[in-house]
């Protein structure tokens, strides 16, 4: 039994050594091309919730590609600022407009 275990162990160590070392003549694996953002946010219309949910940023060696993340965040920040300005503009217009019910009652009297 001892000899069987010893021979088996030698065979396993030899197989692992050959697998790790390889032939030595084989070429090194080529570098993989970095992933690119496949489906960026649409430029022809405002971004909506479905666009953000469907967005998948490519993964790099240390997380996400900073350039792609920066582009997406810049676009979202610009659109949010534009929407905030439009909301503020509409709220100001509402605050300045006379209430519909009060104007109608005042004209009838």
Write the pLDDT tens digit of every residue in 27-83.
Answer: 666 776 666 666 678 888 888 888 888 888 877 777 888 888 888 889 899 999 999
Beta strand residue intervals within the chain, DSSP E: 59-60, 63-64
Rounded CA-CA distance 77/79 in Å is 6
pLDDT digits (tens, 9 = 90+) for 98-109: 765 454 455 554
CB-CB contact of 55 with 81 (8 Å):
no
Buried b (16+ CB within 10 A) or exposed e, 36-60: ebeeebeeeeebeeebeeebeeeee
Q: How do beta strands 59-60 and 63-64 pair?
A: antiparallel
Q: Residue 1 — pLDDT band, cuts 50, 70, 90?
A: confident
Note the pTM of the prediction, 2 decimals: 0.49
- Of 93 and 56, more confident: 93
């Amino acid at each position: 039994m001892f000899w069987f275990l010893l021979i088996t162990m030698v065979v396993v160590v030899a197989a692992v050594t050959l697998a790790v070392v390889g032939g030595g003549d084989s070429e090194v694996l080529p570098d993989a091309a970095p992933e690119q953002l496949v489906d960026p946010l649409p430029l022809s219309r405002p971004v909506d919730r479905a666009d953000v949910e469907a967005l998948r940023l490519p993964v790099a060696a240390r997380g996400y590609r900073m350039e792609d993340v920066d582009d997406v965040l810049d676009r979202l920040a610009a659109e949010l600022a534009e929407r905030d300005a439009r909301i503020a503009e509409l709220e100001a217009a509402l605050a300045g407009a006379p209430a519909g019910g009060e104007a109608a009652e005042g004209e009838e009297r």
